[in-house]
Structure formats: structure tokens, C-alpha cells
Amino acid sequence: MFADSPLIDVTDNCDQNRFELRLNGDLVGIVGYYDTSPAGKDREPDSVPVISFMHTVVVEDFGHRGLAAVMVRHALDHARSCGWKIRPVCTYVQRFVEANPEYRDLMVPLDVPA
């Protein structure tokens, strides 16, 4: 890696219900999510968690650099590894999945009840 290359880190901050993108340690983007699955005893034993991706935000000064795509790709890869299904409320996530069909199998239609 070049010395002047930015360090990009995407993590799941489950306490805040969001994925966070940090650029050189500074928080510059989030993908907010909400678990719409029934909780506790109401959840079926074999049910798959359904997570709504609510919004994608990148600080304006860092826009148009592809950071939102990096963050959403990481979030969807994380969802796959956790066995989640995704309800793409966020229009950016909808467009990203439309352009990246390898993630379509994770999607749950918006009109399906939680």
C-alpha cells in the first residue's frame, strides 16, 4: 500500500444499528439498519432475520468517491455471512443491488410484512 493511500475501514456498530465507514479513522459514512424480525419468543426457531437497510449517508465533502458503494457492499457481504435477508428501504441500496445482481438473493420485497 502506498504511504498516501487512505485507510478505509467498514465496521458493524450494532449498538447504534449501523455500519460505519471510517476514512483514516474519521467517521465519514453510515448505513443505518433496523431488525424487523419478531423478537424473543415470537420468533420462529428456524426463521431468517430480516434487516431493513434504512438509509445510506456519506459526509458531503467525501461524496462522489465511491465510498457509499464500498460501505454498502461490505454491509451486504456481512448480511450474507450472518444469514440475514435484507429489506432495501434505502433507495441507494436498491440501486446498488440493481447494478450488482449477485446480491439479489438477499433481498426481501418492501411489500412483504415484517
What structural domains and CATH numbers belong to the chain? 8-106 (3.40.630.30)
The predicted pLDDT at position 1 comes to 47
Place of cell 431468517: 48
β-pair type (50-58, 26-35): antiparallel
Query: Which three cell numbers mark 9?
Result: 475501514
Query: Which three cell numbers mark 19?
Result: 455500519
Cα Rg of the chain, angstroms:
15
Place of cell 457492499: 73
- Per-residue model confidence as pLDDT tens digits over 90-109: 999 999 999 999 999 999 98
- Per-residue model confidence as pLDDT tens digits over 28-84: 999 999 998 766 456 666 788 999 999 999 999 999 999 999 999 999 999 999 999
The predicted pLDDT at position 37 comes to 76
- pTM exceeds cut of 0.85: yes
At residue 94, the 3 state secondary structure works out as helix
Strands (E) in 1-114, as ranges, are 8-13, 18-23, 26-35, 50-58, 85-88
The predicted pLDDT at position 47 comes to 81
Asked if residues 82 and 45 have their Cβ atoms less than 8 Å apart, the reply is no
